[in-house]
């Protein structure tokens, strides 16, 4: 009997050892090895108890500056800033510290030919989108803040977030929800939502008028009659003798009189309420090429019937027809 008892006790010991090892294996398998498993284990059990295993440590992303070394081909590294850091860099968002808003009296205003050079560069960008791109592209957000300038004031268009493919084939327009910046949108686009390349030409006319006058398209600091730039300048378009009143006072009369008349004529044609009579960007580029290449271009353009003069003649003919 004792032998059998010894054998039974030995068997019981071995069974207990197997049970302990199986329990250890089960507990080792229950340890999550991925975030998905950890999420599943955190779900409540039927009896209401919640298991809360330790989630694996998530590696923190490296600093953007340190990550510049690891940037590969077709990858862009960006650096983010907090609101407090931006406030400190801009002196609590003061106007003179923002991009493009340096109104310090120590800074000299842009001369006439630099302004026309900027207008010419921007018009060439629109010409490429309208005339050379296939299908044509409607920029839809032409404004001064979207024109980038380098050290030599060469203009480049930026921010194509609102750009849209233009009409192709027999289509004359593209129906779209009205989007853009107030003051720059063409009137027919605001009324109907029908978008054409002539909508960009109207917006360019506003930009050109801003360069000529040195005013903002909407300036609430001025009197009620002068807050809207286009509405203020429109009555002067029909009276050439009042064109000098449109010139920026900071220029102090240092601009060619003929060049001012031609630039105002181009802006007036672009700002027509009737989109059909607005010029194409190709016509605008040719007209501004005589104004944006410096005083030597004005001296060389002795042709009495140049492209800009043709636009003036077209505007005068349209005024006569409309009257």
Three-state secondary-structure class, residue 55: coil
Sequence-ordered list of residues with C-beta below 8 angstroms from that of 272, at least 6 positions apart, any chain: 202, 278, 318
Separation of alpha carbons 11 and 114, rounded Å? 101
305, with CB counted inside 10 A (0-12, 13-18, 19+), is: exposed
Structure token pair of residue 133: 């791109």
Residues 6+ positions from 235 with CB-CB distance below 8 Å: none
Contacts 24+ apart (CB under 8 A), 107-112: 109/214, 109/248, 109/250, 109/251, 110/153, 111/251, 111/254, 112/251, 112/254, 112/255, 112/256, 112/259, 112/260
How far, in Å, CA of 68 to CA of 70, rounded?
Answer: 5
CA triplet 313, 317, 322: central angle to 5 degrees? 150
Task: For Cα atoms 68, 70, 73, give the angle at the middle one, nearest 5 degrees.
Answer: 95
Tokens of 77: 């590294």
CB atoms within 10 A of CB 299: 9
Which residues participate in catalysis according to the annotation? 141
């Amino acid at each position: 009997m004792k032998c059998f008892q010894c054998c039974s006790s030995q068997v019981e010991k071995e069974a207990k050892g197997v049970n302990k090892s199986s329990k250890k294996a089960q507990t080792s398998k229950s340890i999550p090895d991925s975030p998905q498993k950890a999420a599943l284990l955190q779900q409540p059990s039927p009896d209401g108890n919640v298991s809360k295993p330790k989630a694996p440590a998530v590696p923190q992303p490296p600093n953007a500056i340190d990550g510049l070394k690891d940037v590969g081909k077709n990858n862009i590294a960006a650096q983010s800033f907090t609101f407090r850091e931006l406030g400190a860099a801009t002196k609590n968002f003061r106007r003179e510290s923002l991009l493009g808003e340096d109104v310090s009296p120590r800074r000299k205003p842009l001369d006439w030919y630099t302004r026309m050079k900027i207008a010419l560069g921007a018009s060439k960008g629109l010409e490429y989108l309208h005339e050379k791109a296939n299908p044509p592209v409607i920029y839809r957000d032409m404004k001064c803040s979207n024109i980038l300038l380098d050290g030599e004031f060469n203009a480049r268009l930026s921010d194509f977030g609102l750009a849209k493919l233009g009409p192709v084939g027999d289509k004359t327009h593209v129906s779209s929800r009205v989007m853009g910046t107030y003051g720059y949108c063409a009137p027919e686009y605001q009324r109907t939502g029908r978008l054409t390349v002539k909508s960009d030409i109207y917006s360019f006319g506003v930009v050109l008028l801003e360069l000529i006058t040195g005013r903002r398209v909407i300036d609430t600091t001025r009197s009620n009659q002068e807050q809207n730039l286009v509405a203020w300048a429109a009555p002067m378009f029909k009276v050439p003798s009042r064109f000098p009143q449109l010139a920026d006072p900071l220029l102090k009369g240092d601009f060619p009189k003929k060049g001012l008349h031609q630039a105002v004529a181009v802006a007036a044609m672009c700002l027509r309420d009737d989109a059909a009579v607005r010029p194409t960007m190709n016509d605008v580029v040719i007209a501004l090429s005589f104004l944006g290449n410096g005083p030597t271009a004005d001296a060389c353009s002795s042709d009495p019937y140049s492209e800009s003069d043709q636009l003036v003649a077209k505007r005068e003919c349209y005024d006569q027809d409309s009257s």
